[in-house]
Amino acid sequence: MSRLGCGLLAGCWLLGSGCLTEQLEALRAEHGGLIAAELIARQKVESRQADLEMELQWLIDQTPACKVRRYGQLLKESCQNNRCEPESFRIALQGLQSLSDSYVVVYLRPGQGADGLTGERLDEVSHLLQDHNRRPTTRLLLVALPSGESQADWQRADVVAHELLTKIQTKLTYSRDFRPLGPTAVGCSRDTRALFREFAAKKPPRGREPRFGDAIVAVIFRLDCY
């Protein structure tokens, strides 16, 4: 309570309850004003903090060390929504092909979808995303190659890509710490699909996984800024 409020209340003892009521209302108004001012000040601080975080993220994204993540973003943008930008797609794959320890290839039967993920491949993904590999700037990207060339094949691969990301995040709860760039499927041209198949073939199917021609081929990338 302010000194002014204390003085007015003390004076009101001589004037009766009506005066006290008026002064209590004044104090309530003063208290409400202080709360509103504090809320405005807090909102300004939070807004400035959000601006600084955006500026920091922008600076991080501009560093040469983030080129790997930019390749991942380029890969996603060049094939998402059944779009086709072959040259961008090729550049992105060339930039990612040397990172053999930063991606896992999974082979899935179209009918089974994400349920066909083997324990062996899940272990690989777990190793890919272990604590010592985790950074605040790391992103997770999942790209799927359809088993055929029709629109229905692409739509099925896109659904399976989303299901597989959800399954990984359910089985490996710490994978939620990696902000996903978003799952997508490769549609577009036969040449583009051939490029992606060649990229994935460096880690061929094994065990109970289906052969290339029968599989939806999914690649899980860990994209870092070092």
Q: Which residues contact 83 (CB under 8 A, 6 or more apart)?
A: 187, 188
What is the rounded distance in angstroms from the CA atom of residue 169 to the CA atom of residue 162? 11
Residues of the chain with CATH 3.30.1330: 66-223
**In this predicted model, what pLDDT tens digit does every residue of 188-199 receive, in sequence order?**
677 888 888 988
| Overall size of the chain counted in residues | 226
Cβ atoms of 157 and 216 within 8 Å: the answer is: yes
pLDDT of residue 102: 84
Residue 102 token pair: 């930063």
Give the closest residue to 218 by CA, choosing from 57, 85, 107: 107
What is the rounded distance in angstroms from the CA atom of residue 158 to the CA atom of residue 16? 77
On the question of pLDDT at 10 being above 70, the answer is no
Across residues 107-119, what is the average pLDDT? 93
Q: Which residues contact 113 (CB under 8 A, 6 or more apart)?
A: 156, 159, 160, 163, 164, 216
Q: What is the torsional sign of CA 154, 156, 159, 161?
A: negative
What is the rounded distance in angstroms from the CA atom of residue 129 to the CA atom of residue 222? 8
**In this predicted model, what pLDDT tens digit does every residue of 21-48 receive, in sequence order?**
777 777 787 777 788 888 888 888 888 8
> DSSP of 124-160, one letter per residue?
HHHHHT-GGG--TT-EEEEEEE-SSSSHHHHHHHHHH
Give the closest residue to 193 by CA, choosing from 226, 126, 144, 151: 144
What is the rounded distance in angstroms from the CA atom of residue 56 to the CA atom of residue 66? 13
Q: What is the pTM of this model?
A: 0.67
Q: What is the mean pLDDT of the chain?
A: 80
Give the closest residue to 129 by CA, choosing from 81, 171, 77: 171
On the question of pLDDT at 224 being above 50, the answer is yes
CATH number of 66-223: 3.30.1330
Across residues 125-138, what is the average pLDDT? 76
Would you put residue 36 in left (φ > 0), alpha (ψ -120 to 50) or beta? Answer: alpha
Read off the pLDDT band of 12 (50, 70, 90): low
Read off the pLDDT band of 67 (50, 70, 90): low
